[in-house]
Amino acid sequence: MKPYNLLTTLTISVILWIFIIFTVLPILILFLIWKLSVITVAKLFFSNIHPTDINDTYFTVDDAEHLTNVNVAQIWKINGLIDVNQFRKHFAQCFLADEDSRKRYRNFYCYLVRFGGYVFKKSVDKLDLEKHITAKVLEPGVDINAFIAKWFLEEKFNEKSPLWEIIIHNLPLTCNTEEHETIFLFKCHHCLCDGYSFIHIVDKLTGNSSPYLVKEECDSFYQKVSLN
């Protein structure tokens, strides 16, 4: 590179960095101070408002509570029939039995609110399982796949209500089935639940223990930066 071109490049780089340091950086610092102030106020004065985790922030942009594309779901076909009342009791025993369970599984109580320009989780005092765990009977001729697609992609959660729902649909016996089957639908906002959360929920409900499949990184710093 010619000395003239090198000097030009260096000059432009210095000017850009000066512009960033004295214009963009102060703005970012102000936003950071504001966000930390909002989080501090929320923690000090509102016991039912909780900051979102860093990994969940992406799923809380805009009007996230009403965007169906930030929901996640599990769909299971289970042998046998499930009594919705018995399942509600079992669910409550697994996740809502005492104050420690309420703290550990706080997301079951939460929906999203905007405070100070940011989205927070807000927990309700009491959870009504009759609204969150329901039994459905499809009308004759209604396709189960079409029902599931509409339920997941179009139907929104109730206003100011925790962002999850379970639907139990006991399938009738037909000439092609020898025993009863149940379609189990579980939908939740991605800010409250992810894939590993579903695995934990299933393990808790069934008394199983699934392996944790994410590899633990134990490499040294030198191994991580080594070219070999």
pLDDT one-digit tens code per residue, 174-202:
656 567 889 999 999 988 888 888 888 98
The answer to which of 20-24, 125-129, 183-187, 201-205 has the lowest mean pLDDT is 20-24
Question: Who's near 175: CB < 8 A, 6+ residues apart?
Answer: none
**Model confidence pLDDT, tens digit, residues 32-65:** 999 899 999 998 999 899 888 877 766 666 555 5
For 80: left if phi > 0, alpha if psi spans -120 to 50, otherwise beta; the answer is left
| pLDDT score at 54 | 74
Q: What pTM value is reported for the model?
A: 0.77
Paired tokens of 61: 């942009």
